[in-house]
Chain A
Amino acid sequence: MKTIQISPADNIVVLTMSLPAGVTFEIDGREHRLPVAIGLGHKLAARSIQRGEKIIKYGVSIGSATCGIEVGEHVHLHNMQSDYLPTFTLDQGREFRGIK
């Protein structure tokens, strides 16, 4: 099995193995194709999610969708955000690049 749903209320599933682009996987009996390579532990939408809707994992909210998300789409920094604190990553231009 390539994905698991942790709680029945979840609107996302989690990849249980790293998958290359083009691989097919099933959600609710329907086949989807991965547009890009996605690593183990990442989330895919288990149903279509509207902008502003809560992303549910472990049966609880882990943040909100910042745009509409289709079934099978990768759910991550590009389409959801925290309801508490902004998420820090190195590719947001905030990293220290030395003194000019």
Chain B
Amino acid sequence: MSVLHPTAFLRTDGCKGIRNTVAVVYLVECAHHVAREIQYHFREQDVHLLGFSGCYPNEYSHRMLIKLCTHPNVGAVLLLSLGCEGFNRRGLLGAIRESGRPAELLVIQETGGTRTTTTSGLEWVQKTLRELESSPRAPMALEELVVGTVCGGSDGTSGITANPGIGRAFDQLVGAGSTCIFEETGELIGCEQIMASRAATPELAEILIASVAKAARYYATLGHGSFAPGNADGGLTTQEEKSMGAYSKSGSSRISGLIKPGDTPRAGGLYLLDVVPDGDVRFGFPNINDNAEIVELIACGSHVILFATGRGSIVGSAISPVIKVCANPETFRNLSDDMDIDAGRILEGRGTLDDVGTEIVDLVKAVSRGKQTASEALGHQEFVLGYKSFEPINPGCHPTYQ
């Protein structure tokens, strides 16, 4: 066992976090402003804003907020409810308290409105930040680390430098016993057969192929694939070309299972996260932007996110640090403050894919021990959560459980 972090944050369920974030969570858009007023006051102190805008209840979003509020990187949670929305606030509060984390619920309609609720929230966060200074600590091994990957703003360089560079990093991390998650089945259209050949079992191979077919059906119904105009400006011509580039983030390890948003793998290995809803096409696009995918990777337990970009995404995320791996050397020079890794240097003869892979692994370790990523330093904490519906995964999705 190799120690990743000598003093990680130990949660009562045994999970270990690399950050000790206070999450300020609105449970409907109507409570967003009060939550933001509270969070903004502590924006330099690892206090993050997240929430769910909808007024109507949804099993998926409820489960997602439970998973996010009890994420290993989260130390305490303040819930903000208007009072009349459909979200099951008592259920969420109970689940967070059961996890041993300090948690409080403020219902604006019962607390005297915007001003008094904001004041109460500020006091609670102030007090809780002091309490968190004495959070239990414990050594964390590389085997306990969960890393997710996403790509956004892809161009013709993404599939040559940043994505396969992340693939090399994933190969190293999976070899060391970590859990690695790749996702977005809509961006695997065209490479499902190649991917399936890496499945741990024939049954899982079928499941992987079916998950991509589901994504293709979903996008065909909506009339729009996972392809943005900037992808074409950057030299990508077709969905399957973009897919092959995106697919290379998964590296070359055996695929141990398929999970859905909120499922945390119970053993190390490489997993595909199926982000496309099950059943009839409902609630619109599966993922309206990159952050919707990042939130789902975090809900599966990701401590750190590896984000490959060619055109130049600048986002970070609430809860887990995002490491930006820049595929395009021109973009890296243009947006250097926003980038962590210059993978595009491969195109200019300043390194190999293996060099980039090792640089990524080293940075994952440093960020796990507390080093700030570019997006953390700039205060990025994007967060998106919408409506979806999923069936639970069947046992064949996760052969390593058996």
A8-39 vs B, Cβ < 8 Å mask (1 yes, 0 no)? 00000011111000000000000000000001
Complex alpha-carbon distance, A77 and B232, angstroms: 8
Report the count of interface residues on A (CB-CB < 8 A). 34
A40 to B240, CA, bound (A): 19
Highest count of chain B CB atoms <10 Å: which of A14, A62, A80, A81:
A62
B13-21, B142-150, B221-229, B315-323 - interface stretch = B221-229
Contacting residue for A87 out of B227, B328, B329, CB 8 A:
B227
A41-B157, A41-B328, A42-B156 known; A63 vs B235 contact (CB < 8 Å) = no
- Min CB distance A59 to B, Å, is 9
What is the CA–CA distance of A41 and B153 in the complex, to the nearest angstrom?
13
Task: Name the interface residues of A66-98: CB closer than 8 Å to any CB of B.
Answer: 75-77, 80-90
Partner of B241, one of A18, A57, A90: A57
> Would A90 and B229 count as touching, CB distance under 8 A?
yes
Whether the pair B216, A84 counts as a contact (CB closer than 8 A) is yes
A48 at interface, CB cutoff 8 A = no
A-B pairs with beta carbons under 8 A, tally: 111
Q: Which residues of B contact A60 (CB under 8 A)?
A: 190-191, 194, 240, 244
B348 to chain A, nearest CB (A): 8
Alpha-carbon distance between A5 and B328 when the two chains are bound, in angstroms:
17
Question: Contacts A17-B347, A89-B229 hold; do A81 and B238 have CB atoms under 8 A apart?
Answer: yes
What residues of B have a CB within 8 angstroms of the CB of A41 in the complex? 155-158, 160, 234-236, 310, 328
Distance from B161 Cβ to chain A, minimum over Cβ atoms (Å)? 10
Give the interface centre of B216, B228, B347 by most chain A CB atoms within 10 Å. Answer: B347
Contact of A85 among B227, B248, B349 (CB under 8 A): B227
CA distance A63 to B160 in the complex (A): 18
Asked, given contacts A62-B241, A85-B189, whether A40 binds B229 with beta carbons under 8 Å apart, the answer is: no
Q: Assess whether B160 is in contact with A82, with CB atoms less than 8 Å apart.
A: no
Does B131 sit within 8 A of A, measured CB to CB?
no
Bound-complex Cα distance A89 to B315 (A): 23
Do the beta carbons of B156 and A43 come within 8 Å of each other?
yes
Partner among A42, A81, A86 whose Cβ is within 8 Å of the Cβ of B235: A42
B182-228 residues with Cβ-Cβ distance < 8 A to A are 189-191, 194, 216, 219-220, 224-225, 227-228
CA separation between A57 and B191, bound complex, in Å?
12
Cβ-defined contact, B227 with A88, below 8 A: yes
The 5 closest A-B pairs by CB, nearest first: A41-B156, A41-B235, A82-B238, A42-B235, A62-B241
Q: List 22 A-B contacts (CB under 8 A).
A: A15-B156, A16-B348, A17-B347, A17-B348, A40-B156, A40-B347, A41-B155, A41-B157, A41-B236, A42-B156, A42-B235, A61-B240, A62-B237, A62-B238, A62-B244, A63-B238, A81-B238, A83-B238, A85-B189, A85-B227, A87-B237, A88-B228
On B, residues with C-beta under 8 Å from A are: 155-160, 189-191, 194, 216, 219-220, 224-225, 227-229, 232-241, 244-245, 248, 310, 328-330, 347-349
Known: A4-B160, A41-B158. 20 other contacts (CB 8 A): A1-B349, A4-B347, A14-B160, A15-B235, A17-B347, A40-B155, A41-B310, A43-B235, A43-B237, A60-B190, A62-B190, A62-B244, A63-B237, A75-B237, A77-B232, A82-B239, A83-B240, A85-B239, A87-B237, A87-B238
